[in-house]
Structure formats: C-alpha cells, structure tokens
C-alpha cells in the first residue's frame, strides 16, 4: 500500500496527527469483526471519562473523537461546555490517536457499541458509509432550518454521500501556497498575491530556482507527488474516478493536464525535485531550501517554531487556474444510537454553536462562517499575520479528493504511476491509460 507516496503495511494506516497526512486508505480494516467483550476493552484502551450530572434527564451519550493530546483536550472542552449549557445532559468520552480511533470505529459499528456522536475526517466518510453506520442528518437539518450557507463555502461537501448528509463540518483545512518571503526579497521577486496566474507561478519558480548541490534553492517543494499524490489530478478540478457512478475518469483532459504540469515542473522547467530527490531533502519548506510549498491549513506552530528567525514566510491562494483540494473534520451521529435525537442536538452544537466553534478554532479554522470571520484575530502572534481569507474564499471550488473503501487500490495504482512519471519520465498518456484500465478492473471486481 502507498500512503503519502510511501509504502505502508496494510495494518498500518497513518492518519494526520502532528506528523501524518489526514488522508487514509481504508483498506480491509472495515471488514474486520470483534467480540462485544473485546470492544469494551478497546473503549477502555481509548481512554474514557464519564462526567456526572445530578438530574440525569437525558440518557448518557458516548462522544468519540481523536487527535493529538492538544486536540483531544479541545474536544473534551467542547463536551464540557455542552454539559454546562445543558445540565440535564451527561456525556461519556472515548478517544484515541487518529490511527487508533479510525481502526476501532468499524469494529465498534459492527459490535453495536459505537459512540452516539463521533468525529470523522473527510477521508473516512465515504468509505465508512458503506457500513451503514452514519445517520442521515438531512431531516434534522430541514427541521431546524439549517442551510449549507451556515458554514464556509464547500465545507459540507465531505458529508454528502449518495444523496444523504452524513456529517456536519467541524473545522476546515483550506489549502494554498506557502512562500519564503526572505528568498523572494533576496532576489527582488514580487510576493504573489491573490488572483495570480499559473504563468506568474511558472515565472516565479524559475527565477527562484538557484544554486547547485547543498546550496541549491528550489522554486517549489514537491508536496504534490510525495505527500499528496491525490492532489495531482485535482489541480485543475479533475478526479481519477467518479465516486457517485463508480466509473474511472483517469484519462480526462483535466487529469492529463495536471499530471503533465507536474512532470514539466520537474523535467522541463527543473524547478521542483522529483520523488526520490524530495525524499532525500529532509525538512521540506522549513529548511529554507524551497521558495514555495503547498500550505495545508493545519496548525502552523511547528513551522513557526522551527523556522524561528531563519526567514519570514506567508501564504497565498493557488494560482487562479488551479482548483485543488481542502480537508476537514466532521461530526456524525451513529445510525444505531438509542438516543438519536439527543445525539443530533449535541452534534448540532459542535458544528453550529459559536462558543464551541471558537474552542475548536484553537487548532484549525472554524467551519462556522460567523466564527471564521473573526477567528484570525485570536491566533498566536507568530501566524496571526497570515492572510487566510483568500484560501477560505477558494474553498467553494476545491474538491474533497480522497474517497476510501473500495477505491484505496485505485489510489495505490495512481501513486505508483505518479512516481514513474516523475522519476523515470514515463509518458503521461500511457501512465493514465494504465491507471484507467487497472482501476476499471479493480472496481469491477470490488463494487
């Protein structure tokens, strides 16, 4: 299996925490079974905490989530806030690191022991939906007169699966380009601004690719092929398959053009390292060896800490011809919950309450429009100056590229061919023909 451009064992499915991409290949883990007694042990291992309530008017709800220790702390605060505002509600918490929580969810679904309310990354929703474990929230949204415009543009899209709304957006991670302002200033190159074009991008990366050997500075870091191979086909708004129809679309003009641009940046313009070179250049953007890189919208504390006084940096939206992807976290209700109405009220709180959204804004961009508008003012000084709004404004056109479940093998085939196009100069058309044919065989066998 290939995840983030690297071989992975099937049993090890990395999910973004501090060090992992949030994408994950669902693989065969959703086919596993486990006994009810073992599920109890799993919940204990995840770490559970029961908050007391004197009235007990509402049956206890189990709230499941994942993340780094800092993120887990925020989710607990959200739950505590809900109980404070609703003293008749009692919550129990179950949580784990991202990989551990993802691997346990299918087991909990199958053993009828899942959390009433649980968090899910955008890359989990479509794959796990095949288990029938997500409640359709469409009737609840209609009954509460909650429209899509409540959230940032496109933020609800990951939750839409086959005509149902299975998740509500909690936080978002819009993407764009990070740039090394110090390098730009050194070579007197104008800083890119929103509305810049692909031609502007090509001119800049060529001017800023300088030097040789250890002193070389690249115009662009190769996050496309080595970290986010699924971002390659979406560069111009294409996908290698149509999730709704189950048909392969790898040879469409948008996908072909995007993969050709990737190859040209490496082999024609020579402004971006290939896969092998990227893996040998440790540290990426923070080393100052790259003038630009993909900005993934995560908490930038690690970047600012490691960059320190070495250089200053900023962010800008993609060139206007690019579409790209965004990622997010979502809240869902278990379809078999015995307290589905109460679970809905808590899920709605997580996604729409301004105070709950402000808490979650401590580690990502709040999905609620009204909160996101003032969120930047509360950020740490080290990155409060970054101009997030153009990236947020672009989200409505961005795709939620990754679809898991039966499609994991198709992504694996595609990632292998991305490396061949980069490292060996394989013909783009032939590579995509192979992806198309092999993908059709995989989907015909599995769907």
Do residue 194 and residue 143 come from a single domain?
Answer: no
pLDDT for res 280:
76
Q: What are phi and psi of 11, to 5 degrees?
A: -80, -10
pLDDT for res 51:
38
pLDDT at 108 over 70: yes
pLDDT for res 376:
83
Lowest mean pLDDT of 54-58, 86-90, 121-125, name the range. Answer: 54-58
Is residue 243 domain-resident? yes
For the segment 335-361, the average pLDDT, to the nearest whole number, is: 97
pLDDT for res 12:
28
How many C-beta neighbours within 10 Å does residue 293 have? 22
How many C-beta neighbours within 10 Å does residue 142 have? 11
For the segment 106-113, the average pLDDT, to the nearest whole number, is: 95
Is residue 400 domain-resident? no
Summarised one tens digit per residue, pLDDT across range 366-379 is 999 999 988 888 78
Residue owning tokens 């978002």 = 172
Q: What are phi and psi of 368, to 5 degrees?
A: -70, 125
Do residue 305 and residue 416 come from a single domain?
Answer: yes
For the segment 82-92, the average pLDDT, to the nearest whole number, is: 96
Which structural domain, as residue segments, surrounds residue 93? Answer: 9-173+327-392
For the whole model, what pTM was predicted? 0.84
> Which tops the pLDDT comparison, 39 or 368?
368
Is residue 3 domain-resident? no
Do residue 155 and residue 181 come from a single domain?
Answer: no
Do residue 139 and residue 219 come from a single domain?
Answer: no
Is residue 351 domain-resident? yes
Helix/strand/coil (H, E, C) string of 334-356?
ECCCCCHHHHHHHHHHHHHCHHH
Computed over every residue of the chain, the mean pLDDT equals: 85
Is residue 398 domain-resident? no
pLDDT for res 43:
44
Spatial separation of the C-alpha atoms in residues 27 and 409, rounded to whole Å:
8
Q: What are phi and psi of 377, to 5 degrees?
A: -65, -20
pLDDT for res 299:
65
Last residue of one domain, picked from the residues 392, 417, 432: 392
pLDDT for res 440:
96
| Number of domains comprising the chain | 2
In this structure, what CATH number is given to the domain that contains residue 72? 3.40.190.10
pLDDT for res 446:
66
> Which tops the pLDDT comparison, 203 or 308?
203
> Residue 421 in contact with residue 261, Cβ under 8 Å?
no
Do residue 168 and residue 66 come from a single domain?
Answer: yes
Spatial separation of the C-alpha atoms in residues 323 and 316, rounded to whole Å:
14
Residue owning tokens 């048909």 = 247
Summarised one tens digit per residue, pLDDT across range 391-435 is 999 999 999 887 777 788 899 999 999 999 999 999 999 999 999
pLDDT for res 35:
39
CA atoms within 13 Å, Cβ hemisphere of 47? 12
pLDDT for res 7:
30
Do residue 155 and residue 234 come from a single domain?
Answer: no
Do residue 61 and residue 197 come from a single domain?
Answer: no
pLDDT for res 32:
37
- Joined together, the tokens standing for residue 259 give 């993969």
pLDDT band at 117 (very low <50, low <70, confident <90, very high): very high
pLDDT band at 447 (very low <50, low <70, confident <90, very high): low
Do residue 217 and residue 235 come from a single domain?
Answer: yes
Last residue of one domain, picked from the residues 392, 415, 432: 392
pLDDT band at 8 (very low <50, low <70, confident <90, very high): very low
Do residue 184 and residue 282 come from a single domain?
Answer: yes
Q: What percent of the chain is modeled with pLDDT above 90?
A: 64
Do residue 349 and residue 228 come from a single domain?
Answer: no
Q: What are phi and psi of 34, to 5 degrees?
A: -160, 150
Summarised one tens digit per residue, pLDDT across range 209-219 is 999 988 899 99
User: Going by C-beta distance under 8 Å and a sequence separation of 6 or more, which residues neighbour residue 142?
Assistant: none
pLDDT at 4 over 60: no
CA of 225: how far to CAs of 162, 254, 269, 320, in Å? 30, 17, 16, 21
pLDDT for res 57:
64
Is residue 383 domain-resident? yes
Helix/strand/coil (H, E, C) string of the chain?
CEECCEECCCCCCCCCCCCCCCCCCCHHHHHCCCCHHHHHHHHHHHCEEECCCCCCCCCCEEEEEECCHHHHHHHHHHHHHHHHHCCCCCEEEEEECHHHHHHHHHHHHHCCCCCCEEEEEHHHHHHHHHHCCECCCHHHHHHCCCCHHHECCCCCHHHEECCEECCEEEEEECCEEEEEHHHHHHCCCCCCCCCCCHHHHHHHHHHHCECCHHHCEECCCCHHHHCCHHHCHHHHCCCCEECCCCEECCCCHHHHHHHHHHHHHHHHCCCCCCHHHHHHCCCHHHHCCECEEEECCCCCHHHHHHHCCCCCEEEECCCCCCCCECEEEEEEEECCCCCHHHHHHHHHHHHHCHHHHHHHCCCCEECEHHHHHHHHHHCCHHHHCCCCHHHHHCHHHCECCCCCHHHHHHHHHHHHHHHHHHHCCCCHHHHHHHHHHHHHHHHHHHC
pLDDT band at 26 (very low <50, low <70, confident <90, very high): very low
Last residue of one domain, picked from the residues 349, 369, 392: 392
Is residue 52 domain-resident? yes
Summarised one tens digit per residue, pLDDT across range 122-170 is 988 987 888 899 999 999 999 999 999 999 999 999 999 889 999 999 9
Is residue 399 domain-resident? no
Do residue 311 and residue 440 come from a single domain?
Answer: yes
For the segment 171-199, the average pLDDT, to the nearest whole number, is: 96
Do residue 338 and residue 317 come from a single domain?
Answer: no
pLDDT for res 157:
92
Summarised one tens digit per residue, pLDDT across range 276-291 is 888 777 778 999 999 9
């Amino acid at each position: 299996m290939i995840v983030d451009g690297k071989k992975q064992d099937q049993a090890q499915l990395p999910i973004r925490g501090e060090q992992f991409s949030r994408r994950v290949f669902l693989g065969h883990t959703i086919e596993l079974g486990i006994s009810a007694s073992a599920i109890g042990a799993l919940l204990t291992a995840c770490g559970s905490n029961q908050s007391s309530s004197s009235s007990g008017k509402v049956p206890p709800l189990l709230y499941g989530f994942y993340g780094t220790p800092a993120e887990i702390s925020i989710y607990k605060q959200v739950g505590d806030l809900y109980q404070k505002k609703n003293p008749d509600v009692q919550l129990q918490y179950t949580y784990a690191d991202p990989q551990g929580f993802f691997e346990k969810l299918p087991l909990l679904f199958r053993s009828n022991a899942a959390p009433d309310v649980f968090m899910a990354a955008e890359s989990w929703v479509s794959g796990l939906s095949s288990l029938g474990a997500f409640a359709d929230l469409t009737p609840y949204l209609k009954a509460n007169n909650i429209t899509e415009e409540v959230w940032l543009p496109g933020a609800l899209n990951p939750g839409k699966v086959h005509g149902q709304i299975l998740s509500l957006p909690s936080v978002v991670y819009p993407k764009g380009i990070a740039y090394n302002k110090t390098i730009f200033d050194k070579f007197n190159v104008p800083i890119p601004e929103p509305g810049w074009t692909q031609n502007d991008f090509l001119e800049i990366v060529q001017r800023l690719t300088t030097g040789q050997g250890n002193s070389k500075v690249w115009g662009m870091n190769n996050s496309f092929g080595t970290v986010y191979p699924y971002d390659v086909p979406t560069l111009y708004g294409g996908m290698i398959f149509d999730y709704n129809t189950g048909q392969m679309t790898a040879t469409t003009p948008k996908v072909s053009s995007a993969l050709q641009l990737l190859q040209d940046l490496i082999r024609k313009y020579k402004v971006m390292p290939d896969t092998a070179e990227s893996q040998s250049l440790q540290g990426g953007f923070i080393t100052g060896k790259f003038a630009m890189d993909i900005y993934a919208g995560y908490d930038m504390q690690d970047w600012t800490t490691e960059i320190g006084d070495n250089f200053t940096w900023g962010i800008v939206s993609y060139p206007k011809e690019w579409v790209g992807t965004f990622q997010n976290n979502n809240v869902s209700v278990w379809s078999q919950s015995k307290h589905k109405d109460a679970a809905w009220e808590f899920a709605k709180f997580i996604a729409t309450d301004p105070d709950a959204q402000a808490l979650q804004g401590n580690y990502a961009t709040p999905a609620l429009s009204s909160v996101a508008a003032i969120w930047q003012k509360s950020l740490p000084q080290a990155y409060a100056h970054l101009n997030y709004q153009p990236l947020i404004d672009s989200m409505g056109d961005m795709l939620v590229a990754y679809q898991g479940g039966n499609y994991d093998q198709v992504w694996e085939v595609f990632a292998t061919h991305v490396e061949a196009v980069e490292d060996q100069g394989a013909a783009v058309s032939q590579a995509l023909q192979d992806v198309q044919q092999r993908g059709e065989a995989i989907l015909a066998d599995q769907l």
